Structure 1
C-alpha cells in the first residue's frame, strides 16, 4: 500500500466508513502531467452512514473536503463512489 493510499484512508476515517476500498490507478497514467508532478490517480469506494440523506453531489463534496489538503500534491485525480450502508447491500 502506498503512502498516499494510507493518507487517504487516515483522512477518510473521520467519515467513519463501514467499508472503504482505495485503488491506486497511477500506473495507468504514467507520463501524464499530473503524474509527473507527483500527484496520483485514485479511485475510492466508500460506505458510510454519514452519506444518508445526502445527494451524490453532497457526498462527493464531503469526500473532497475531507481530502482537501492532499489534493494536487498527493492526488491529481480522484474517482469517488459513495454509498450508504443500505445502498451498498444492493450493489454487491
Structure 2
C-alpha cells in the first residue's frame, strides 16, 4: 500500500470525516519522480468541534506518527469542523455539469 493510501485509510478510520482530501504534492519539490514525501490534507470532522487548531493538528500527527517518522517530509494540514467548512465553502464543491461525453454529437 502506498503512503497516500495509508494516510487516507488512517484518517478515515480515526476521524470519520465529512470530507477528506489527501494530495501528494511531492512533484512540486526537488525529489525523485514518484516520491511520496510531501502531502496536503484537508480534513473536515465533527471530532474537531471545540478543539483549538493546534490540538487538531496534534491529533492528526498522532494518527500519522509512523508515516511522519519514516516517510513524510512535509505535511500541510487544513482542519475544519463541519460548520467551519460550510461557512467557508458551503460544503464540498459540486462536480461540474456533464458535457455529454460519448453522447455529444461530433462537429
Q: Same fold (TM over 0.5)?
A: yes
Structure 1 gap ranges (5+) = none
Q: Distance in 2 between matches of 1:89 and 1:18?
A: 11
Q: Distance in 1 between matches of 2:10 and 2:41?
A: 12
More strand by share: 1
Q: Distance in 2 between matches of 1:12 and 1:78?
A: 13
Query: Which residue pairs with 2:5 in the alignment?
Result: 6
Normalised by the size of structure 1, how large is the TM-score? 0.86
More helix by share: 1
- The answer to whether the 8 A contact 1:22-1:42 is kept is yes
Q: Distance in 2 between matches of 1:62 and 1:89?
A: 22
Normalised by the size of structure 2, how large is the TM-score? 0.74
Q: Which has the higher contact order (CA 8 A, sep 6+)?
A: 1
Structure 2 gap ranges (5+) = 90-107
Give the one of 65, 68, 73 matched to 2:70: 73
The residue correspondences of 1:28-67 to structure 2 (distance < 5 A) are 28-31=28-31, 40-67=37-64
How many residue pairs were aligned? Answer: 86
Runs of 4+ in 1 over 6 A off after TM superposition: none
Instruction: Tell which structure's C-alpha radius of gyration is larger.
Output: 2
